[in-house]
């Protein structure tokens, strides 16, 4: 695990394919609010400059002469401090996620790992604190990213995240195949839905789980080797199966919408960039 040589390399490659839409959106908004020539914003948690008109009592050393020279007014360069945003990313890592059909390049767990680490790289480069829920404090150092990568590569038996404290208004991504009963999914995430609207469900499914492409006599087994079902002709159940899997997808999407979260379906036979660009474009509109 994963099925490719280096998770970090694949995540770096994927991240490099995604235009920094959110940073562009923030910069555009800053231009609208503060004029056409603001100084470049530093990362979250650092100070950045903004300008206001000189007032009696201001110190002459704070005057920005370059900005003032553009007009007949005198401007003060004012420093503001912004606290770093927290981004928590959870990925399902149990045996169910190891499924990989012949039409997929990666297993569901491989795909979830790449998507999760790519999101961590993108958010950390914006100065945000990144972490896996219930595994220690979030951060954006190289050491923290390495710890996050290691966590993504480790197997875990639970199908839902363990209890953890969600910082209010934090970014939160849940990456899973979401094949559990809808009531269990809602119970696991409803509390987090009340804490933040900056959440997203990334629904990772193998194409075989969506299309059931099999024909003839098929023995279906679960990933644990504990349950099996013999079907005399897979074609006979394809329509009913299609309706059930679509109902599951619709239910997960509806839960995300209920909490104001975003939803994206990732098929493991499609490029990571397509999924992440869709998600990042939605993030830019937060």
Residue-level pLDDT at 79 = 56
Query: Does a structural domain hold residue 31?
Result: yes
Residue 226, helix vs strand vs coil: coil
Residues 77, 97, single domain; the answer is no
Q: Which residues pair with 204 in a beta bridge?
A: 266
The CB density around residue 114, as the number of other CB atoms within 10 Å, is 26
Residues 127, 221, single domain; the answer is yes
CATH number of domain containing 266: 3.40.50
Query: Does a structural domain hold residue 139?
Result: yes
State the pairing for strand pair 199-205/218-221: unpaired
Query: Does a structural domain hold residue 223?
Result: yes
Query: Does a structural domain hold residue 2?
Result: no
Query: Which H or E element spans position 176?
Result: strand 171-176
State the pairing for strand pair 75-81/86-91: unpaired
- Residue 100 CA to residue 117 CA, distance in Å, equals 20
Q: Which of 247, 204, 189 is nearest to 108 (CA)?
A: 204
Query: Does a structural domain hold residue 65?
Result: yes
Residues 130, 231, single domain; the answer is yes
Query: Does a structural domain hold residue 10?
Result: no
- Residue after which a domain boundary falls, among 51, 81, 111: 81
CA distances, 149 to each of 154, 240, 284 (Å)? 9, 39, 25
Residues 193, 251, single domain; the answer is yes
Tally of domains within the chain: 2
Query: Which H or E element spans position 252?
Result: helix 234-258
Residues 219, 107, single domain; the answer is yes
Residues 162, 48, single domain; the answer is no
Residues 95, 62, single domain; the answer is no
> How is residue 132 annotated by DSSP?
-
Residues 35, 152, single domain; the answer is no
- Residue after which a domain boundary falls, among 36, 58, 81: 81
Residue-level pLDDT at 207 = 95
For tokens 């000189």, the residue is 54
Residue-level pLDDT at 51 = 65
- Dihedral sign of CA atoms 256, 257, 261, 266 in order: positive
Helices (H), 53-205: 65-68, 108-124, 142-153, 182-195
Per-residue pLDDT of the chain (286 residues; tens, 9 = 90+): 555 557 888 887 777 765 543 343 334 334 434 544 433 433 444 444 566 776 666 666 677 777 777 777 777 776 554 456 899 999 999 999 999 998 788 899 999 999 999 888 888 877 889 999 988 889 888 888 889 988 988 899 999 998 888 888 889 999 999 999 999 999 999 999 988 989 999 999 999 999 988 888 887 777 677 777 877 777 888 899 899 999 999 999 999 999 999 999 999 999 888 888 888 777 754 4
The CB density around residue 198, as the number of other CB atoms within 10 Å, is 18
Q: Which residues pair with 266 in a beta bridge?
A: 204
The CA-based dihedral angle spanning residues 177, 180, 182, 186, taken in that order and rounded to the nearest 10 degrees: -80
**Angle (nearest 5°) at CA 256 between 253 and 258:** 110
Residues 109, 231, single domain; the answer is yes
Residue-level pLDDT at 42 = 36
Q: Which of 159, 127, 164, 130 is nearest to 147 (CA)?
A: 130
Please check whether residue 28 is in contact with residue 41, taking contact to mean a CB–CB distance below 8 angstroms. no
Query: Does a structural domain hold residue 51?
Result: yes
- Residue after which a domain boundary falls, among 35, 56, 81: 81
Residues 167, 260, single domain; the answer is yes
Query: Does a structural domain hold residue 14?
Result: no
Helices and strands (DSSP H and E) totals, the chain: 9, 9
Q: Which of 53, 155, 71, 170 is nearest to 107 (CA)?
A: 155
Residue-level pLDDT at 93 = 95
Q: Which domain holds residue 71?
A: 22-81
Residues 77, 88, single domain; the answer is no
**Six-digit token pair at 203?**
């629904």
Residue-level pLDDT at 256 = 96
CA max distance for the chain? 87
Residues 125, 223, single domain; the answer is yes
């Amino acid at each position: 695990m994963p099925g490719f040589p280096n998770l970090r390399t694949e995540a770096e490659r994927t991240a490099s394919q995604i235009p920094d839409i959110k940073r562009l959106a923030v910069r555009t908004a800053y231009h609208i609010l503060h004029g056409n020539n603001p100084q470049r914003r530093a990362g979250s948690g650092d100070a950045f400059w903004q300008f206001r008109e000189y007032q009696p009592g201001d110190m002459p050393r704070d005057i920005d002469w370059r900005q003032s020279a553009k007009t007949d007014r005198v401007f003060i360069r004012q420093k503001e401090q912004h606290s770093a945003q927290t981004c928590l990313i959870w990925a399902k890592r149990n045996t169910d996620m190891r499924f990989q059909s012949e039409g997929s390049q990666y297993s569901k767990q491989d795909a979830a790992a790449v998507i999760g680490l790519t999101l961590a790289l993108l958010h950390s480069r914006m100065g945000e604190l990144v972490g896996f829920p219930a595994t220690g404090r979030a951060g954006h150092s190289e050491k923290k990213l390495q710890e996050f990568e290691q966590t993504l590569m480790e197997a875990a038996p639970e199908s839902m995240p363990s209890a953890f404290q969600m910082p209010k208004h934090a970014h939160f991504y849940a990456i899973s195949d979401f094949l559990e009963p809808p009531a269990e999914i809602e119970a696991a995430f409803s509390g987090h839905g009340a804490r933040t609207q900056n959440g997203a469900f990334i629904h990772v499914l193998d194409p075989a789980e969506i299309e059931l492409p099999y024909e003839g006599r098929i023995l279906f087994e679960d990933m644990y080797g504990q349950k099996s079902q013999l079907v005399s002709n897979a074609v006979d159940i394809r329509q009913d199966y299609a309706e059930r899997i679509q109902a599951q997808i619709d239910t997960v999407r509806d839960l995300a919408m209920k909490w104001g979260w975003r939803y994206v379906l990732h098929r493991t036979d499609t490029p990571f960039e397509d999924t992440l660009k869709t998600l990042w474009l939605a993030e830019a509109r937060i």
